[in-house]
Amino acid sequence: MEEPKIAQKGPFVVPLKPGKYWWCACGRSKKQPFCDGSHKGTPFSPVEFTVEEADVFALCGCKHTKSPPFCDGTHEEL
């Protein structure tokens, strides 16, 4: 099974406004932590998520979280 590329060993802490977003699951996007279509030709697909209220979010940067798209600390074990 192909492993995702580690974009960074830590979360991307980003302020987000209400709306739909697509988190990069493959680690190849040039617009981290969001998808730019770089997953094409890989077994990965972006994860769509919706923000209801503006807030700051910690989105996974290592791409190994067990609760995508959010950081769960897995990067500390890599």
- Predicted confidence at residue 1, as pLDDT, reads 78
Rounded to 5°, the CA angle 56-33-5 comes to 140
Torsion of CA 3, 25, 67, 60, to 10 degrees: 100
The residue ranges of every structural domain in the chain are 12-77
- Average pLDDT value for the chain: 97
Whole-prediction pTM: 0.94
